[in-house]
Structure 1
Amino acid sequence: MLMLLMLGGALGGCATTQAGPNSLADRDPHEEFNRDIWSANQAADGAVIRPVSDVYRAVAPRPARRGISNFLRNLGEPWSFINNLLQGHPDRAIRNLGRFIVNTTVGVGGLADVATEIGIEPAPEDFGQTLAVWGVGDGGYRVVPLLGPTTGRDLVGSIVGFIADPATIFLDTRVGLSTQELWGLRGVSIIDTRANLSESGADAFLETSADPYAAARSAYFQQREADILNLDPASLGESEDAAFEAAFDDLDEAGGEDGNFGPPPADEADFPGSDEAIEPGGTTPETTPELPYEESAFLFGQENAPYPH
């Protein structure tokens, strides 16, 4: 499927990835196998997830979907809080805590994103980003069946998040949700994320790309590098690209290579793909769609995806 997603910023329409000693092809040593998995995932998405999400969009009113997206996003704040502390960003952790308290109380359990309205901006983090900040290398690009694009490092981060996420633990031990109910919540998260993706224009991005696999791979690395550095890819202009790459070079030298949740459904927008041809395995820069954080998760990897991890 585009990837079963992605249980998680915007990608900048101008950000690019250049070939070099750390080119995308070098970081994708299992490309032939990855492409096979990518094709299978896309087929599964077209056969199951996308049709179900289309029904969800047709049946559920937009305000209801907005509330569900906000609720799922709020469940991710405690895990982001922990990861911001582990990364040494107490200021961002305070934002996570503030958002969780405000949205859980004034926002009626997270159904309304009051925190953003009063100026407490999201600060999403995951354990894959934490490992990168600690200097762990990316471990190579991988496409996982039903989960989509990731790296060795981010896959470990997702597994840790799946086990250690406070929201999951609380719902299990304190609220008393059964295993079936927890998986049902994950299913809602999957469908909600896919529905928002359909409205974001990201499908057109892949459909108009000469090589969708290479486009998604390039976008995945751009998004993850921006996530790790707490940058806003959408704000990167040509003059800022050099600073972006230089900052990430510093992270490479330290050892790295390289639960924000469903936002309000995106308004219709035009996100064209790159007009440049892409050779399979090549590193031709792609123009990427400007997506809300959770939609980029669905398209570019589960690390960015909404709850549960």
Structure 2
Amino acid sequence: MSRLLVTGGAGFIGSNFVHYVLANTDHSVTVLDKLTYAGNLASLDGLPDDRFRFVKGDICDAELVDGLFAEHDAVVHYAAESHNDNSLANPRPFLDTNIIGTYTLLEAARKHDIRFHHISTDEVYGDLELDDPAKFTEQTPYNPSSPYSSTKAGSDLLVRAWVRSFGVKATISNCSNNYGPYQHVEKFIPRQITNVLRGERPKLYGKGENVRDWIHANDHSSAVLTILEKGVIGETYLIGADGERNNKEVVELILTILGQPADAYDHVVDRPGHDLRYAIDSTRLRTELGWEPRFSDFEAGLADTIAWYRDHEAWWAPQKDETEAKYQAQGQ
């Protein structure tokens, strides 16, 4: 697997994976990215020229995809429309990228008999009650609640069908909420961090009781590489780092780390259909493949992330004003 093709590698989680692979292995990496608003070439700065190249293009472009698959040993498929708020405002791009794009890649994987790993989300499982002791496992039934999560669920099912029907050499991972460097400021954690860094008050949906199971993007990257190298074809692995926190706790922790009063935030109108709680049981990944997260302490990982945003304002500032204007128009 010395030659990896990474779709969506200029996005948040994909770019972190590219940095991780090039820093920790001898693999070469090609990134295929359409460079929508969520893709940022600056996220790929500083990578070694002899082991990295970038191709601008759409995963729905079958001719382009076919040519790239012919040149590589394995594909890691991160490319996706992924922001719930955007899927509620305009679902169509989620169908195009998450369904048709994944189909296009699977057909190329089938033709070239290439190792394929599909990145998915815990949101395909719906949500859990706040007081439910259960967590999502690989056997949890799908119950998506938004255009985003339903199209990701559909893409997962396509992968499973192509494995069973056509023998495609694929695995799937469903991961909990990521945080870390290079995340667009429309997302919850970087939005709150950059608000405080700008002297503005963070924004909290509703009462802030919704719980997410947070994992640092580097831990997600190490897990994906482990699955790519050791995972059983046709299997699904859940990736999580036991980082459950409700949104109110996260906002207050960000404020505290940045030396502000813990209650210096504003409540805004809640998102329609806002899932209550996600929680991942990653026992299978840990016991069968021997993976462990490095950032097991969420507070330490969050402090590391805050330091990155403080030091990289030139990366996030161009996105900030447009993003906040959009949220303001939505009353959020």
> What is the TM-score of this pair, normalised by structure 2?
0.28
For the pair shown, the structure with the greater C-alpha radius of gyration is 2
1 or 2 for the larger relative contact order (CA 8 Å, sep ≥6)?
1
Greater helix fraction, Structure 1 or Structure 2: 1
